[in-house]
Amino acid sequence: MSKTYLTVRLSSLGDVLLTTGVMAYWHKIRRYRFIMLTRAGFADLFRGHPAVERVIPVQQNDLSLMQWWDLCHILKKKYQSMEIIDLHGNLRTMLLKHIWPQQTHTYAKLSFYRRLFALTGIKIAGKKLLQNNIPQRYATALESFPPDPSETTPRIYLSNTELLQAEQTLKNVSGTEGVIAIHPYATHETKTWPRQNWKTLTSSLDQAKIPWIIIGRSLNPLYPGDMRDLTNKTDIRQAASIIKKCSALVTADSGPMHIGSSTGTPVIALFGPTSREWGFYPCGPDDVVLEKKLPCRPCSLHGRSKIKCGVKCMENIQTEEVMIAIKRIL
């Protein structure tokens, strides 16, 4: 029997994108459908998704406490016959659930284990966290036992037109196949590889005659003026289409890392201040996570903290390691 849920995940890019796979899973096994409540900037992630009936875009000014409270009552009036799936678990979603007349469902966020592992690094907490990735944890909102990670891999549904446009972009830039997509940026600077390392990587790719292209957004593009540097020149879906047509994506722990997973493109992810224990890691059959064991890792959930030891966790990842991973995929 078909059933529609109001599903909530407000931010950020990666977290929102990770909901797409679990909703596809529920749609496949139970024919459930969803109305997605998320920030307006992420609405395009759900275009073409077979399980998503529509997206309710949340504007920035909706997030103040009074505006959010008003929005909660508007949603209640319009969608009060539906149950809620809370895939965020913050104060705002608690307020929404507080006034909701129907049953609400919340996923196993494992906040206690995350805090314990972040503060102490104790192994038992880390093992608990590594049992399931974030999409599997999302699934616990409705499931007694998380499905296999392959069942909840994030998915972005791209049109033939979008893919043809991406093919043309790559042809114009590289004129060949086997292109490596590079995303050298991150929201928090501590999470990205040193800038010189990215330049060394592109030089190594040039020497190996492996074409590359840069995607992402930054105030400081890696190669401004180089036609291979598409920094700030693509939206989310254009970037996803380009990644889909590339042979691999090299990135730090970032939103585009999850875009790579959602397109099925092999991902080479560089992890520094964050950790796989948080659950935000790519887990496709050809994905690679490069990281270094240091006593100070992980230093935070999102990489925001000031790292006393500098960024050795990122600096210690060598260009040669990344090149080896690329060549294995190719």
The average pLDDT across 248-266 equals 96
The predicted structure's pLDDT at residue 301:
67
The average pLDDT across 50-75 equals 97
Angstrom distance (rounded) from CA 183 to CA 249: 7
pLDDT digits (tens, 9 = 90+) for 202-215: 999 999 999 999 99
Measured N-to-C along each axis, helices 123-130 and 111-120 cross at an angle, to the nearest 10 degrees, of 140
Angstrom distance (rounded) from CA 23 to CA 30: 10
Range in 99-103, 249-253, 289-293 with the lowest mean pLDDT: 289-293
Range in 14-28, 36-50, 175-189, 316-330 with the lowest mean pLDDT: 175-189
The average pLDDT across 50-65 equals 97
Contacting residues for 48 by C-beta, under 8 A, at least 6 apart: 157, 158, 159
Range in 64-73, 181-190, 319-328 with the lowest mean pLDDT: 181-190
Alpha helix segments (H runs only) across the chain = 13-17, 19-30, 65-79, 91-99, 111-120, 123-130, 134-139, 160-173, 195-207, 236-244, 255-263, 312-315, 319-329
Angstrom distance (rounded) from CA 131 to CA 139: 13
* pLDDT greater at residue 313 or residue 163: 163
Among residues 196, 212, 224, the alpha carbon closest in space to that of 249 is found at: 212
The predicted structure's pLDDT at residue 134:
97
Q: At residue 17, does pLDDT exceed 90?
A: yes
The predicted structure's pLDDT at residue 119:
85
Judged on CB neighbours under 10 Å (0-12, 13-18, 19+), 124 is exposed
Q: What is the mean pLDDT of the chain?
A: 94
3-state secondary structure string, 175-209? CCCCCEEEECCCCCHHHCCCHHHHHHHHHHHHHCC
Q: How many CB atoms are located within 10 Å of the residue 122 CB? A: 12
Q: Which two tokens stand for residue 54?
A: 């529509």
pLDDT digits (tens, 9 = 90+) for 105-154: 999 999 999 989 888 888 999 999 999 999 999 999 999 999 999 999 99
The predicted structure's pLDDT at residue 302:
65
Instruction: Give the chain's length.
Output: 330
The predicted structure's pLDDT at residue 131:
95
At 241, the pLDDT band (50, 70, 90 cuts) reads very high
The predicted structure's pLDDT at residue 1:
63
At 227, the pLDDT band (50, 70, 90 cuts) reads very high
Angstrom distance (rounded) from CA 237 to CA 233: 12
* pLDDT greater at residue 305 or residue 97: 97
Among residues 188, 209, 238, the alpha carbon closest in space to that of 323 is found at: 209
The average pLDDT across 276-293 equals 92
Output the CA–CA distances (angstroms, integers) from residue 63 to 59, 106, 107, 236, in the order listed.
7, 20, 22, 22
The predicted structure's pLDDT at residue 306:
53
Element (H, E) at 249: strand 248-252
